[in-house]
Structure 1
Amino acid sequence: MAFGILVYLQTVPLPISRHRMHFCFILFFFAFLPTTGFAEDAVWNCHQDKNSKEWVCTGEKASPAAIPEEKDEPLAQQPPVSTTPAAQPEVKETAVSEPAPAPAPVHETVAEAESQPKAIAEKKIPVKSTVRKAVPVKKNLQQEDTRQAGWHCKTAEGGQDWNCNLTGPDPKGQPHVVSTEATGFSMLDPAFDAKQEQIFANLRSNLKYDPWAHCSIEPGAAPVFTPRSPLRDVSPLDVNADYGEVFENEISSYRGNVEITRADQHSFSNTAQYDTVSQTLDLQGEVYYSEDNLSIYSNSASLKLAQDQATLRNVEFINPSAPLRGRASAAYRESKVLSRYKDVAYTTCPPGNTDWVLHASDLKLNDATGKGAVKNAWLEFKGTPVFYSPYLSFPVDNRRLSGFLAPTFGSTQLSGFHFSAPYYWNIAPNYDATLRPRYFTKRGIMLAGDFRLLTPYSNSKLGLEFLPNDKLRDTSRFLGSLKNTSHFGPYVSSNMDLNYVSDKEYFGELGNALSFPNFSHIRSIADLGYRNPGIGVSLVGRVENYQTIDKTLTGYNRPYRRLPEIDLNLDHTFDFMPLTANLDSEYVNFNHDDLVNAQRVNVKPSISAPLQAEWGFLTPKVSVQHTDYQLTEKSFVPPPNVVPASWSNTVTRTLPIFSLDSGLTFERELGKADSSMKHTLEPRLFYLYIPKKDQNDIPLFDTSLYDIWFSNLFRENRFSGTDRIQDANQITMALTTRLIDSETGLEKMKLNIGQIIYFRDREVTAPLRIRNLPDFVTIPEQGFQMPVETDRVSPLIAELSSQFSDHWSGETGIQWNPENNDIVRGKAILHFMNKAEKILNLGFHYRRTDLVERTLLANSSIWGPSVQAYNAALPSGTPSYNPLTDPNVLHSTDLVQSDISFRWPLFNDWYAVGRWQYSWLYNKTQETFLGVEKENCCWRFRLIGRRYTNNINTVNSSVQQLAEGTSQSGLFFQVELKGLTGLGESLDQFFEQSIFGYQKPTQ
C-alpha cells in the first residue's frame, strides 16, 4: 500500500485551507528596530556606574569619549536558555580609566526619557545601552567559575553519546556520559542533528508557553496569555553588551553578549552593528530571537530596514501557533510580501521527535497572493521516504485555492473497496465547489459534488450524488440536498434543509458505514421566522416532509407531512408582581397518502405565579387549551377514501388545565471542616387536574405516549403532541436527596424517588399501533383502541446517580409496577474516565411491554374476522395463529441490551478503541467495532473494523430480521500528519458519537 500511495501523491498538491506551511519567522526583524532608533547626529557619552562598575553610554551632542581599550579576550558566547535578563551574568571591571563627564543614563520608560536632554527626547523609542567589560576566557572549562553550576554537555564523536562536565558541587555523583535513546530503524540520517535539537530545546524554553503541551488527546486549549506586541511602539529599546562603539556618528557597534530587548522581543548575539545611513542592522554569531509567538536561531542576520529586506543564514525556528519547527540553510526577505528559502525542512513534531519531516530544495511565499510553492519536495516518515513531487503549490493563509484534497478510501461488504480523490475549485470569492468522484469496485463510478454560495445575508450549499449505473442493481441512483440559512435583519431569519434519495437502500449500500444513519425517515424542512426575545414574541412558519427509508414501516407507521405549520408564541413577565403570561398557538395542515388528512388549530393561553425563595418554591398555573380540527379525505388512496362514518368533518375540543407545583429544600453540613459534605432533602408535590372529555373522534397525527421516567412525572400531559389531552386528577409525590462535596462541588450521590397517585381512572387513551403483524391481519386505520387504565398508582420510579471520584461515575434506574409486582423498566450505566486516555463505559438497558398492552395483544378476538378466517383456512393439523405466541407482536417494543465502549492505552501512545452492542432478547450482536489508534503531537493513525446491522433498529424490526440479519462489515483506515495532510476516512465524529466521553483532539 505504501507504494500505491506514493504513485498517487506525486500528482496531487497539498490540501488547501486546513493544512499549510507557516514560514513567518522572518517578519520579526522589521518590527524590531525603528529607523529612528539611533540619533544620526549624536555621539556617545559614557560614564562608569559607581555601584555596578558598568559602563553606561548615551547619545548626546557632546564630544565622544573613547572606551578604554581592553586587551583581554571577550567571554566566550554561551547559548541562552531563557529570556530572563538575570540569566546573563554581570562581569565587573578591575581597572579602567575615568571617561569624560556625561549626563545621567537613559531610563527604560518613555516618561522618564522625556526628562532627558533634547537629543534623547526627540527619539521615537528611548534607547538604553549598557556596556560591560569582559574578562579573559579561561581555557580550562573545569576551572571556569563564571558558568552556572550544574552539568554542561556536548555531543561526543559519532553523535551517539553526550560528554558531560560538572561545574560546582554535585551531591549525586561524578561527571559521567549520558547515552541517548536508540531511534530504531531509519533509512535516512536524522533530519535534525543533536546540536540542532539542543537549539530547538533552547528556542522552546524562550517561548511564553510550551506549544506542544496541549496537542494530544487530552482536553483543554492552549494557555491564554496577553500578547505584548502592541507595547512595542511605546516601549524603550534596551541594548546590553560587553563593548559598544560609535563610528563617524553613523555606525554603532556592539560586541560580546549583545542583548536587545523591547516589550516581548528579545535577541541575543555575539555582535551587532547598525548603520543609521543605510538603516542596516547586522547580527552575527549565535543569534537567538524570541517574541510571544516566535522563536528563532540563526548564525547571522542582515536586515535592510528601509527596503524591508533581510538575509539569514542557517535558520532554525519554532512557530507555536501551528505548532511547527524547522530549519533553512538560507532565508531571503525580498519585500514586505515576498520571501524565499533554500534547503527547507519542517515538522510539527516536538523537539526530539522527527517521525515525519517535509523537505524542499526551494520555497517561495507570496503574502500578496496568499500562495506558496516548493520545488523538489519529499516527505520523510519514520526515517523512510514515502512521497516526492517536483513541484507543489499551497495556500499560506486562510484564502482558498483550487487543488486536490486528501484522498479517502475504505471498504464495505455490499459495495466493495471505494476510493475518492476530491478536488476543490475556488470559483469566486463568494462561491466555490468541491468535486468528489468516488469509485466502488462492485458498483461503478459515482459522480458527486458540493456547491457553496455565500452572500452578506445568506449561506447556501447544494449537494448531489449520482451513480449512472449500479452494476449490482442495473439502475441509476442519486441523492440530493439543499441547505440555506438567511438573515433579513436582527429578528427575521429563514432556514432550509431539503433532502431526497432515489431508493430506501441508498444509505445502507452506498454509505461508508461510518455516516450510516440510524434513522428511519429523511427529514426535509423549510421555515421563515420572526424571533424577538426582548419582547417575548416568536412567529415561525414552516413546511416539513418525511421520506421513509425503513422498508418495515408502511401505511400508518409513516409520519404525516406538515404543509404548512405556523407557530405563534408570546411570553411576558410582569415587573410589578410575580406573574407570567404565555400563549402557545399553532396551525398545521397534515397530509398523508394512506390516512385521513386534517387542518388543526390549537391555542393555549396560560397564567402562572411563580413564588420562589431559597428554602422552596410554589407555582400555581392555569391554562385553557382549545383545539379545532377540519378533517378531509385521504390523498391518493382508492375508495373508500372518505372520512370514516364515526368521525365528523369538524371536531372541537376545549379543556381547562390547572396545576400546582411546590417544593422545599433542606440542607445540613456533614463531617469535619476539612472534609465537609452537604446533605440536602428536596421533597416535591405536583398536583394536576384536567376534566375528562371523549376524544375518540380525533385521529392521531403527531401524538404518542411518553415513556415515563422521573422527569416525566411533572408533565401536564402524558401524551406528546396535541391530539390527546389526558384526563387527570392526580398528585405526584417525589423526593430528591443529594450528597455534595463542599470543596469540589461533586455530587457524590443523587437519589430521585417518585410516584403518581391517581384519584380516578384514566379513560382518555391513545390507540395502540402494533407493528410487524402478519399480512393477513386487518388493522384498523388508527390502530387498536386501548382499554381504560384503572391502576391507583403509577410504577414507582427510582433513579440513583453518583460521581464516586474524579474518574468514576454511574447511574441506575428502575420502574416497579406494584399492581402486578413486575419490573417494567431498568437501566444501569457505569463510566470510568482517567483524563482522556482511559475511557470505559458499561451499560445495560431493559424495557418490557406494559401488562395492559400484553393483555390486549394476547387477546386474539380483537384481531377481528381476518384472523378467524385465516385460521379456518389452514390445512388440517396446522396450528392456528395466536398473537400470544408471536414474538414479533409481544416483543415489538421490548428491549434487553448491553452496551460496552472503551478507549484504553496499550503502549507508546497506542490505544485500543471499540464498542459492542448486544441484544439479549434476540441473542444477536447489533453493532460492534474494534480497532487501534495512535495519537501523539505530530501524527495520528487509526484502523478499525466495523460490523453493523443495516436499516434495522430494535423499535421497528422483526425478530426474523434481527435473527437472520442484513449485517455487513467494513474496514476503515486513517492516517494524518498534523499540520500537513491526511489519508482515509475521518473518524473523529464517529468516535465521539460511539464512545461516551471521547473528545476530538485539539490539534
Structure 2
Amino acid sequence: MHFCLILFFFAFLLTPGFADDTAWNCQQDKNSKEWVCSGEKAPPPADEPLVQKPVPPAPAEVKETTVTESAPTPIPETQVEVKTKPQPQAEAKSELQPKAVAEKPIPVQATVTHKAITVKENLRQEDTRQAGWHCKAADGSQDWNCNLTGPDPKGQARPVATKEYGFSLVAPAFDAKQEQVFGSLASQLKYDPWANCSVEPGVAPSRFTPGRHLRDVSPLDVNADYGEVFDNEISSYEGNVEITRADQHSLSNTAQYDSVSQTLDLQGEVYYSEDNLSIYSNSANLKLAQDQATLRNVQFINPSAPLRGRAAAAYRESKSLSRYKDVAYTTCPPGNTDWVVHASDLKVNDATGKGAAKNAWVEFKGTPVFYSPYLSFPVDNRRLSGFLAPSYGNTQLGGFHATVPYYWNIAPNYDATFKPRYYTKRGLMLAGDFRLLTPYSNSKLGLEVVPNDQERHISRFLGSFKNTSQFGQHISSNLDLNYVSDKEYFGELGNALSFPNFSHIRSTADLGYRDRSKGISLVGRLENYQTIDKTLTGHKRPYRRLPQVNLDLDHAFDFMPLNAALDGEYVYFQHQNLVNGQRLNIKPSISSPLHNEWGFLTPKVSLQHTDYQLSEKNSADPNNVPKNWPGAVTRTLPIFSMDSGMTFERDLGSAGSSMKHTIEPRLFYLYIPRKDQTNIPLFDTSNYDLWFSNLFRENRFSGTDRVQDANQITAALTTRLIDPESGRERLKFNIGQIFYFQNREVTAPIRIRNLPDFVMVPEEGFETPPETESVSPLIAELSSEFTEHWSGETGIQWNPETNDIVRGKAVLHFVDESERILNLGFHYRRTDLVERTLIANQNIWQQSAADNNYNPLTDPAVLHSNDLVQSDVSFRWPLLDNWYAIGRWQYSWLYNNTQETFLGVEKENCCWRFRLIGRRYINNINTVNSANTQLAEGTSQSGVFFQVELKGLTGLGERLDTFLEQSIFGYRSRQNELTTP
C-alpha cells in the first residue's frame, strides 16, 4: 500500500503558504428572478460552508511611518525595518520613536525575509473590479443555469449539479464542506492531478516545472490587512494573511512569528500549497528550528500520487518522524469516494522508509471490505518484506486456484518472492523467484514444483533462469534458460492468459561485442528447444544450435559513395533423429548507394561462400558420413542486384486544404546463377511468404541452406496522399510483380502436415517441383488513415497463371479518445504447393498409401494443411456509466471452428479498476487425418479471470493488462497502477 503518498504534506513544515480564496456574493433579482453573483473578497453568507475571511474596516487617513528598532541585546542575523505607504488621499507624514507601538492596527502589505528579516508595510489597495454571474433554475432540473457577464477571476463558467449519494452502509468519508475545501485545494495546484489518469504515479506532467529549489534564495513575502511588530522580535498579522516564498503559498486569518524561538503560528482557516502539496487546516503551529509542527483538522492533496485525505491532527516530531490521528485518504478525485482507507493512528518514519497503522479498514462503495488491527507498509520506493496482494483464477483442467505471495527483502540488491498456489484439482504448487542485481548484471531465478499432482500422481516442475550482463561499453551477455518436466505442464497447470499456443520452449545463451560507431558486431550463441507439442515427433522437431557465431561488419567510405559489408556465420546443428552438420557461411558485399531528393540507384555485388561438414545423427565426428548425404559440401555463388527508384510529388487542392501526392516507381533487378543444392540438408531454411515487402529480397528462402537461382526484375509502384500538417498518410497504394526470365529450379523440401504415419515420408521431406511460371502473383496493397480514429489496410494477390486469388487480407481499425476500440479482420491464404509436391513425389508414397487404401490427394486435411481462412474481431465498447465490454473472436472458416475467444467487462477510472473475462481457446492445433473431415483437433481449454484494483492501494486477481494489450489492437492500459516487487 502506498501510504508514502501522505508524506508529501510534510514539506509545509518548513514555511507555510496559500493561493487566492475569492468568495461569491449572490442575490436574486426580484423582477427577472435571476441570480446575480459577484466575485469579491467578502465573507460568504452565514449558511455557506466555505471559509470565512474577515473584511477590514475602512482605514482612516494614515501617515507614512518609518520605525527602526534596536533591541538591548541584538538578535543575530535579524533586522527589522517597517515602512507604511499611505493611501492615495493621505499626504501627511510623521516619524515614530524607537520601540513605539501603534495605538491601533495599521493596514499593511508586508515583505518578510528570514535570517535577514525586512518588513515593508503598505496600505492594501482594494480591487474594484468584479466579475458577475447571472443564474436561474433550469427547467425540470435541480441544477443552476449560469452565464458569465464580464471577466471571470475564477475561471470559466459551468453548471453546478447537486450531488446525489447512492446507497451506503457508512457515512461518507468526506462531507459536503470538506469536498468543497478539496475543490479549493485542487484549484491552488499548478496542474490538475486528475486531469489525465494515464499519468504515472509520483511523476508530474512534463509541462510542469517545480520551484522547490528556489526556497533557499527567495524572500518570505507577507501580505496582510493589519500588521504589528513588537520589540523587533514578534510580528503579528491579521486579516487575509498571505505568505509566499518560491513555490510555497499560504493564507490564514492571523499569523504570529517569533524570531527568537523561530515559531510560526497560523490560525483561522489556514490554506497552504506548494509544488507537490495543498493543505487546509484550522490551525498550524510550526517550530522551524526544531522541525516540529502541530496541525488540527487537516485536509490535504498530494498531486503526484494523486491522493487526497484528512486527519484530525498531525504531529511532526522531527525531520523524519510524523504521527497522525483519525486518518482517511483516497486516490479518487474530489467528489468521488468510491474507496477510502481509514486508520485511527498512523506513524511514518522517513529515515527507515516504514509506516504503521492501527485499526485500519478499507471502505469500497460505502461498504467496509477489509479490516486489520495493525498494518506495516513502505512509505517510499524502498522495498520491505511482507505479503503482497493475492490473486485468483480458474481453469478447466487445473480448477480454481489461489495465490498469496510473500515478498522477502533480503538485501538492497537481492530479494525473493514466495508464491505458493493451490489448485482444487491438482493440489499444492510451491513456487517462487529470486532476483539479484549487481552494477553489471540483472538475474532472476524462477521455480515451480508440484510435489504430487492429484490427477496424475506424479511430481512436476518448471524452472527458468534469466540474466542480462554488461561488461564495459561494448560487451554484453544474455541468458534465458527454461525447462519443464512434461509436455502437458502448461496446458494443465499454466495460466490460460499466457498464450500457450506454442510448440517449443526455447533456451538461449549469448555473448556479444557490438560497436555501432565502427560497424562491428560479433555474437556467440547457444540455442536449444524443448518440444512440448505431442504431435511434433522425430524429424518435426527443430535443430539445436550448439554453438552459433555471427560476425557482421559494415563500413561506409566518406570520400566516395561506397559501402563494404561482411556477413559471417558459423553454426553447429544437432538433432536426435536427423543428420547433424557444421555450416560456415561468408558473404562479403560492396554497394554504391547513389541518391538525392528525387531518386536513388544502388548497385550491389556479393559473393556467398558456404561450407558444410555433415555427420551421422547423434555424432559429433565429421568423418562419420551419414546415409544419403555426402560428408562435405561446398557452395560458392556470386550475387548481383540493382535497386532503383524515383519520387514525383505535387500539391493537390487549395491552400489550407492541400494534400501532397507522390508517385514512386521502383525497379529491382536480381541475378544469381543456378547451382544444384539438393545435396544440402535443410537446417533452418523455409520459403518466405510472398507480400509486397518481400518483392525486393535477394533470397526468397530464409536461412542460408538454399540460395535461389534468379534472373528476374521486380516492377513496383507506390503512390501516397499525405497530409502535410499531420504527416498522416491519408492513402497509400502499392502494386508490384516479379517478371522471371528463367525457371526456378532451386527449391526447398517441405514436410507435409497431417499425413498418416503409414505414409512413407523422407526424413528431409518431399522435394518440391521447380517453378515454371513467367511472372509472380500480382500483389496490390491499400492502406489508409481515413480520419484521426479510423484506419484500415487491405491486400490481394492474383495468380495470372491460374486466374485465382491466392492471398487476401482486410483489416479495419477504430480507436478514439474515449477509448472505444473496434477491430475487424479477415485473412485468406490458398496454395496448391502441397498438391503439386505430392504429384511430383508419387513414387515415394504411392505404394505405402495403396497398401492402406489411402490417397492423400483426396484428403482435404492434407491438401489444405497450409491454407488459412480466418476472421478476427476484437473490441472495447462502452455499455453504461463507464462500463466497457471487451472481447475477441477468432474463427476458422476452413475448419468451421472457433480458435480463440474471450468476452468480459471492465470499468476503470482514476481511482479503481475492475475486469472480468472468460476465455476459451484451442491449444496445439492439428487437423484430423480423415479424407472427409476438415475439423481441427487440439486441447480445448477455458478459464475465468478477474481483476480488482484500488489504485494507489492494492489489487486482487490476475494482471490482465499484458493479455489485453496483445489481444486487442489499440488497447493501452493506464500506467498509474500499483507497482509491486
State the TM bucket, normalised to the shorter chain: 0.7 to 0.9
Matches of 2:93 and 2:532 in 1, distance apart? Answer: 84
Matches of 2:428 and 2:144 in 1, distance apart? Answer: 62
Check whether the contact 1:842–1:901 (CA below 8 A) recurs between aligned residues: yes
Who is 2:290 aligned against? 307
Structure 1 regions of 5+ residues with no counterpart?
1-13, 72-90, 94-104, 109-119, 136-143, 154-159, 172-176, 875-879
Matches of 1:961 and 1:634 in 2, distance apart? Answer: 36
Matches of 2:447 and 2:342 in 1, distance apart? Answer: 38
1:582-601 to 2 correspondences below 5 Å: 582-601=565-584
Change (3 A) 1:827 1:152: closer
1:131-146 to 2 correspondences below 5 Å: 131-132=122-123
Compute the displacement of 1:644 (Å).
Answer: 4.7
Matches of 2:935 and 2:89 in 1, distance apart? Answer: 88
Who is 2:632 aligned against? 650
Matches of 1:859 and 1:44 in 2, distance apart? Answer: 107
- Which residue type is aligned with residue 834 of structure 1? D
Q: Alignment partner of 2:687: what SS?
A: coil
Check whether the contact 1:505–1:549 (CA below 8 A) recurs between aligned residues: yes
Compute the displacement of 1:889 (Å).
Answer: 1.1
After superposition, give the CA deviation of every residue in 1:448-505 in whole Å (9 maximum; x if it has no partner).
0000111111111000000011111111111000001111111111110000001111
Who is 2:343 aligned against? 360
1:969 matches 2:942: yes
Change (3 A) 1:41 1:817: closer
Compute the displacement of 1:30 (Å).
Answer: 1.4
After superposition, give the CA deviation of every residue in 1:143-201 in whole Å (9 maximum; x if it has no partner).
x9997644899xxxxxx999999999999xxxxx9772321100111100000000000
Check whether the contact 1:425–1:432 (CA below 8 A) recurs between aligned residues: yes
Compute the displacement of 1:824 (Å).
Answer: 0.8
Who is 1:907 aligned against? 880
- Which residue type is aligned with residue 781 of structure 1? E
Who is 1:702 aligned against? 684
The number of aligned residues is 908
Q: Alignment partner of 2:492: what SS?
A: helix
Matches of 2:709 and 2:658 in 1, distance apart? Answer: 47
Who is 1:398 aligned against? 381
1:503 to 475, 481, 486: 486
Matches of 2:945 and 2:931 in 1, distance apart? Answer: 30
After superposition, give the CA deviation of every residue in 1:533-564 in whole Å (9 maximum; x if it has no partner).
12111111110001111111122221110000
Who is 2:847 aligned against? 868
1:71-90 to 2 correspondences below 5 Å: none
Matches of 2:932 and 2:6 in 1, distance apart? Answer: 58
Compute the displacement of 1:809 (Å).
Answer: 0.5
Who is 1:979 aligned against? 952
Check whether the contact 1:214–1:1002 (CA below 8 A) recurs between aligned residues: no
Q: Alignment partner of 2:702: what SS?
A: coil
- Which residue type is aligned with residue 871 of structure 1? A
1:635 to 584, 609, 618: 618
Who is 2:10 aligned against? 26
2:723 to 741, 766, 769: 741
- Which residue type is aligned with residue 957 of structure 2? G
Who is 1:887 aligned against? 860
2:251 to 268, 276, 280: 268
1:928 matches 2:901: yes
Who is 2:708 aligned against? 726
1:793 matches 2:766: no
Compute the displacement of 1:825 (Å).
Answer: 0.6
Who is 2:603 aligned against? 620
Change (3 A) 1:250 1:702: same
Matches of 2:734 and 2:331 in 1, distance apart? Answer: 50
Matches of 2:402 and 2:292 in 1, distance apart? Answer: 47
Matches of 1:537 and 1:19 in 2, distance apart? Answer: 50
1:236-315 to 2 correspondences below 5 Å: 236-315=219-298
Q: Alignment partner of 2:183: what SS?
A: helix
Check whether the contact 1:20–1:980 (CA below 8 A) recurs between aligned residues: no
Who is 2:503 aligned against? 520
Matches of 1:607 and 1:198 in 2, distance apart? Answer: 73
Matches of 1:128 and 1:619 in 2, distance apart? Answer: 77
Who is 1:415 aligned against? 398
Compute the displacement of 1:291 (Å).
Answer: 1.1
Who is 1:69 aligned against? 104
Who is 2:673 aligned against? 691
Matches of 1:167 and 1:625 in 2, distance apart? Answer: 78
Compute the displacement of 1:959 (Å).
Answer: 9.9
1:103-114 to 2 correspondences below 5 Å: none
- Which residue type is aligned with residue 258 of structure 1? V
Compute the displacement of 1:126 (Å).
Answer: 6.8
Check whether the contact 1:616–1:664 (CA below 8 A) recurs between aligned residues: yes
Check whether the contact 1:239–1:260 (CA below 8 A) recurs between aligned residues: yes
Matches of 1:230 and 1:564 in 2, distance apart? Answer: 55
Check whether the contact 1:214–1:221 (CA below 8 A) recurs between aligned residues: no
Who is 1:79 aligned against? none
Matches of 2:575 and 2:91 in 1, distance apart? Answer: 93
After superposition, give the CA deviation of every residue in 1:880-902 in whole Å (9 maximum; x if it has no partner).
31112212211111100000000
Matches of 2:91 and 2:618 in 1, distance apart? Answer: 98
Structure 2 regions of 5+ residues with no counterpart?
18-73, 153-158, 977-981
Matches of 1:684 and 1:168 in 2, distance apart? Answer: 64
Matches of 2:83 and 2:409 in 1, distance apart? Answer: 62
Change (3 A) 1:841 1:221: farther
Matches of 2:630 and 2:413 in 1, distance apart? Answer: 55
1:14-413 to 2 correspondences below 5 Å: 14=1, 21-30=5-14, 42-49=79-86, 51=88, 63=98, 66-67=101-102, 69=104, 127=118, 129-132=120-123, 149-150=132-133, 180-215=162-197, 222-413=205-396
After superposition, give the CA deviation of every residue in 1:320-368 in whole Å (9 maximum; x if it has no partner).
1110000001000000110000000000000000000000000000011
After superposition, give the CA deviation of every residue in 1:912-963 in whole Å (9 maximum; x if it has no partner).
0000000000001011100000111100000111111123278999997954
2:837 to 856, 859, 876: 856
After superposition, give the CA deviation of every residue in 1:512-531 in whole Å (9 maximum; x if it has no partner).
20013222111100011111
1:941-980 to 2 correspondences below 5 Å: 941-952=914-925, 962-980=935-953
Matches of 2:608 and 2:91 in 1, distance apart? Answer: 90
Deviates more, 1:947-956 or 1:559-568: 947-956
Matches of 1:401 and 1:444 in 2, distance apart? Answer: 30
Change (3 A) 1:610 1:450: same
Compute the displacement of 1:794 (Å).
Answer: 0.4
Check whether the contact 1:55–1:130 (CA below 8 A) recurs between aligned residues: no
1:778 matches 2:760: yes
1:916 matches 2:889: yes
Q: Alignment partner of 2:686: what SS?
A: coil
1:546 to 511, 529, 532: 529
Matches of 2:245 and 2:698 in 1, distance apart? Answer: 67
Matches of 2:409 and 2:483 in 1, distance apart? Answer: 27
1:5-16 to 2 correspondences below 5 Å: 14=1
Q: Alignment partner of 2:180: what SS?
A: helix
Q: Alignment partner of 1:254: what SS?
A: strand
Who is 1:116 aligned against? none
Who is 1:828 aligned against? 810
TM-score by length of 2: 0.88
Change (3 A) 1:678 1:955: farther
- Which residue type is aligned with residue 664 of structure 2? E
Matches of 2:303 and 2:243 in 1, distance apart? Answer: 22
- Which residue type is aligned with residue 854 of structure 1? E
Check whether the contact 1:507–1:516 (CA below 8 A) recurs between aligned residues: no
Who is 1:99 aligned against? none
Cα RMSD for the two superposed structures: 3.3
Compute the displacement of 1:66 (Å).
Answer: 4.4
Change (3 A) 1:48 1:145: closer
Compute the displacement of 1:1002 (Å).
Answer: 2.5
Check whether the contact 1:552–1:772 (CA below 8 A) recurs between aligned residues: no
Compute the displacement of 1:741 (Å).
Answer: 1.6
- Which residue type is aligned with residue 374 of structure 2? Y
